[in-house]
Amino acid sequence: MTDSPVTEAAAEAPADDALAIETRGLSKAFGRQRAVADVDLAVPRGSVYGFLGPNGSGKTTTIRMLLGLTSATDGQARVLGESMPERSRDVLPRVGALVEGPAFYPFLSGRANLARLDSGDRSAPSATRRARVGAALDRVGLGHAADKKAHAYSLGMKQRLGLAAALLMPRDLLVLDEPSNGLDPQGTREVRGLIRSLADEGTTVFVSSHLLAEVEQMCTHIGVMSAGRLLTQGTLDDLRALGAHRVRLLTPDPGPAREVLTRLGLAPDPVGTAPGTGPTHVEAELPQPGPSPESIVAALVAADVRVRGFEVAGASLEDRFVDLTGEGFDVAG
């Protein structure tokens, strides 16, 4: 099989104007090994799309194909309605990207690095360059370090500088590979707020991340990769809804509470195995169909079980990831 950007049939497929990124059968092989296999992405315009997967799942290879940094073996990629990489000269000026960590001239300041990058953009007016660079630095919290040499920047500061580079000009699409890498908790919160504000302004954000808790707080849509294949994608709410719901009960009467839940058809977790719970917590998976939350509470009260707290919680993003891939995930980075 030859290494060509798109197949002839895929090149003729019409674009969906509602999608910022659309792929059909996108594949990449290195010799006999398929790093990406038949990926069909659908990233709605204006969304914050979290692209999840363990290391080696094909996320970065997919991103590189989307940006025309490597050619596809098979399939089609459209970005902002245009075929890639054929229309890259028209598309890339509308795309900001941070992929595989930023690289800068170490003995130039952050401000000078951005000015050099900006000068290479044919669509960027030189008359407003200084103001544009200053605004980008301020937006990522580097205004105070603008004149500091890049080699003296911490990893988190370099990551912020990479984000600033992606924001030098207004973008229709931002592609961010691990944007919170190296950031402290405060910096991570600031990046999360920045991504949300960009989405509110109409920018589509495609973000690859290992930080599931962050993705869950900022993304509207999710795609999960494993072993080069896209296992599922959709809205965050839809993905959560596919998982099992759980009853979480806080009571000083755990024994009688467990008896009531068992009688109602629930299967309480073995004592002491629920993560992060103490002796007065009882958890159980809620079957579907099953008793309503109101009827569960009524049965507990009727059995003289003292209820200090009660909730029915859906599956977390981490739960769904483990269900889909069959493996754990480094949620800390």
- pLDDT higher at 324 or 12: 324
pLDDT above 80: residue 322: no
Instruction: Write down the pLDDT at residue 311.
Output: 83
pLDDT above 60: residue 115: yes
Q: Which residues pair with 74 in a beta bridge?
A: 27
Residue found under tokens 């050619």: 71
- In percent, the amount of the chain with pLDDT more than 70 equals 85
Instruction: Write down the pLDDT at residue 327.
Output: 59
- Cα 241–242–243 angle (5° rounding)? 90
Average pLDDT score over residue span 141-156 = 92
- pLDDT higher at 222 or 54: 222
pLDDT above 80: residue 26: yes
Two tokens at 33?
């090994």
pLDDT above 60: residue 330: no
pTM metric for this prediction: 0.74
Phi, psi of 206 (to 5 degrees): -110, 110
pLDDT digits (tens, 9 = 90+) for 153-210: 988 889 889 999 999 998 999 999 888 877 888 888 888 888 998 999 999 999 998 7
Two tokens at 32?
């006999």
- Print the SS3 string covering the chain: CCCCCCCHHHHCCCCCCCEEEEEEEEEEEECCEEEEEEECCEEECCCEEEEECCCCCCHHHHHHHHCCCCCCCEEEEEECCEEECCCHHHHHHHEEEECCCCCCCCCCEHHHHHHHHHHCCCCCCHHHHHHHHHHHHHHCCCHHHCCCEHHHCCHHHHHHHHHHHHCCCCCCEEEEECCCCCCCHHHHHHHHHHHHHHHHCCCEEEEECCCHHHHHHHCCEEEEEECCEEEEEEEHHHHHHCCCEEEEEECCCHHHHHHHHHHCCCEECCCCCCCCCCCCEEEEEECCCCCCHHHHHHHHHHCCCCCCEEEEECCCHHHHHHHHHCCCCCCCC
Q: Beta strand 204-208 with 173-177: parallel, antiparallel or unpaired?
A: parallel
Instruction: Write down the pLDDT at residue 243.
Output: 63
pLDDT above 90: residue 281: no
Sign of CA dihedral 315, 319, 321, 325: negative
Mean pLDDT, rounded, of the chain? 84
Average pLDDT score over residue span 270-281 = 56
pLDDT above 70: residue 279: no
Q: How far is CA 300 from CA 260, 281, 312, in A?
A: 6, 14, 15
Report the alpha-carbon distance of residue 134 to residue 131 in Å, rounded.
Answer: 5
Q: How far is CA 311 from CA 51, 266, 296, 307, in A?
A: 30, 14, 11, 11
Among left, alpha and beta (phi > 0; psi -120 to 50; other), residue 314 is beta
Instruction: Write down the pLDDT at residue 229.
Output: 93
Domains and CATH numbers, the chain: 8-240 (3.40.50.300), 244-314 (3.30.70.100)
pLDDT above 70: residue 59: yes
Q: How far is CA 242 from CA 44, 54, 289, 299, 325, in A?
A: 21, 20, 14, 27, 14
Residue 314 — pLDDT band, cuts 50, 70, 90?
low
Residue 78 — pLDDT band, cuts 50, 70, 90?
very high
